[in-house]
């Protein structure tokens, strides 16, 4: 059994795949895999080829002040704001991808009817690029979103099941039933916006039998997230509403902290008001320097 709560699909030993097999990562100018950091974005925009591209892309120039205004006023609890990119040409998509760059948080979300949402935070926290592809891999939606976390993630997490009745304990169980009781009670009682409750496995010893039963009872969920802020953090929604696996890894991809969080989308992946305001300033500087 793989160490930690999360188990790779079908027993594989690889880490969480953030882009489903068969999805074209570069289709339609999606910037989530561009690899550009903040410094990389500025370096590109300062080139002669970027200046030529900017001259051909009035849609991007018109969008930037709208994004700045949204970031200047967005609040953590407010609905997200969407800016549709459908119908944009290749040059415009390329340029907005270069401006946004690739930030710390990415996500893959499984939705009904085989639709997959791919979300990538830009180098400006709270500003996301989100794409939806259908079961065949065809693009069905593409937009920029100003939000603490993309709405698709929150919607998918709410579609998971409620844990009420617990299955009987397996032979050889030690601590799993008391833990499941705590998880069930806290998940049922949780109210949106309330502080999350964290269960740390190193403080709650679990045998292999316990962990297997816990994994089977909670089951897999529709959201996988990866945050590379301070080290690597993998966030996986379980199949139970309000219950998340949150794992921190060292440089050798070894789990150093293995937890369950009961609550909203874990704060590790969420942007705060301060992030919105800082991002507004950074984006306005880019706009004034290269688009005016």
Task: Show the tokens assigned to 92.
Answer: 């415009």
DSSP secondary structure letter of residue 200: E
Q: Which residues pair with 224 in a beta bridge?
A: 108, 236
**27-36, 59-68, 103-112, 259-268: range with lowest mean pLDDT:** 27-36
Average pLDDT, the chain: 87
At residue 2, does pLDDT exceed 90? Answer: no
Using CA atoms, how far residue 68 sits from 10, 26, 46, 71, 173, in Å, is 44, 26, 20, 5, 54
At 222-243, the pLDDT tens digits run 999 999 877 789 999 999 999 9
At residue 26, does pLDDT exceed 50? Answer: no
For the chain, the domains span 27-148+272-290, 157-269
Name the CATH architecture for the domain at 157-269: 2-Layer Sandwich (3.30)
Mean pLDDT value across residues 157-180: 94
Q: How does residue 46 score in pLDDT terms, banded at 50, 70 and 90?
A: confident
At 113-154, the pLDDT tens digits run 899 999 999 999 999 999 999 999 999 999 999 999 999 999
Instruction: Please tell me the predicted confidence (pLDDT) of residue 42.
Output: 74
Superfamily of domain 27-148+272-290: HupH hydrogenase expression protein, C-terminal domain (3.30.1370.140)
pTM across the whole model:
0.86
**Nearest-5° angle of CA 230, CA 231, CA 236?**
105
Matching fold, domains 27-148+272-290 and 157-269:
yes
Instruction: Please tell me the predicted confidence (pLDDT) of residue 206.
Output: 85
CA distance 132 to 206: 38
DSSP secondary structure letter of residue 240: B
Q: How does residue 32 score in pLDDT terms, banded at 50, 70 and 90?
A: very low
Q: How does residue 20 score in pLDDT terms, banded at 50, 70 and 90?
A: very low
């Amino acid at each position: 059994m793989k160490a930690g709560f999360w188990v790779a699909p079908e027993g594989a030993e690889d880490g969480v795949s953030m882009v489903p097999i068969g999805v074209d990562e570069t289709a339609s100018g999606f910037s989530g895999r561009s690899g550009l950091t903040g410094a990389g974005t500025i370096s590109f925009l300062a080139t002669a080829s970027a200046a030529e591209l900017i001259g051909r892309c009035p849609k991007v120039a018109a969008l930037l002040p709208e994004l700045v205004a949204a970031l200047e006023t967005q609040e953590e609890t407010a609905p997200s704001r969407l800016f549709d990119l459908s119908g944009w040409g290749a040059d415009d998509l390329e340029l907005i991808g270069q401006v946004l760059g690739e930030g710390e948080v990415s996500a893959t979300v499984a939705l009904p009817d085989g639709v997959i949402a791919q979300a990538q935070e830009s180098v400006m926290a709270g500003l996301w690029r989100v794409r939806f592809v259908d079961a065949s891999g065809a693009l069905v939606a593409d937009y920029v979103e100003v939000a603490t976390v993309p709405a698709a993630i929150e919607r998918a997490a709410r579609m998971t099941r409620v844990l009420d009745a617990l299955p009987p304990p397996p032979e050889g169980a030690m601590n799993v039933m008391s833990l499941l009781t705590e998880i069930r009670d806290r998940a049922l009682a949780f109210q949106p916006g309330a502080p999350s409750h964290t269960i740390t496995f190193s403080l709650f010893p679990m045998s292999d039998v316990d962990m297997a039963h816990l994994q089977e009872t909670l089951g897999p969920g529709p959201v996988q997230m990866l945050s590379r802020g301070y080290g690597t953090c993998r966030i996986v929604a379980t199949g139970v509403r309000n219950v998340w696996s949150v794992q921190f890894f060292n440089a050798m991809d070894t789990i150093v902290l293995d937890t369950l969080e009961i609550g909203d989308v874990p704060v590790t992946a969420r942007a705060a008001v301060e992030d919105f305001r800082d991002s507004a300033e950074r984006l306005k500087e880019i706009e004034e320097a290269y688009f005016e």
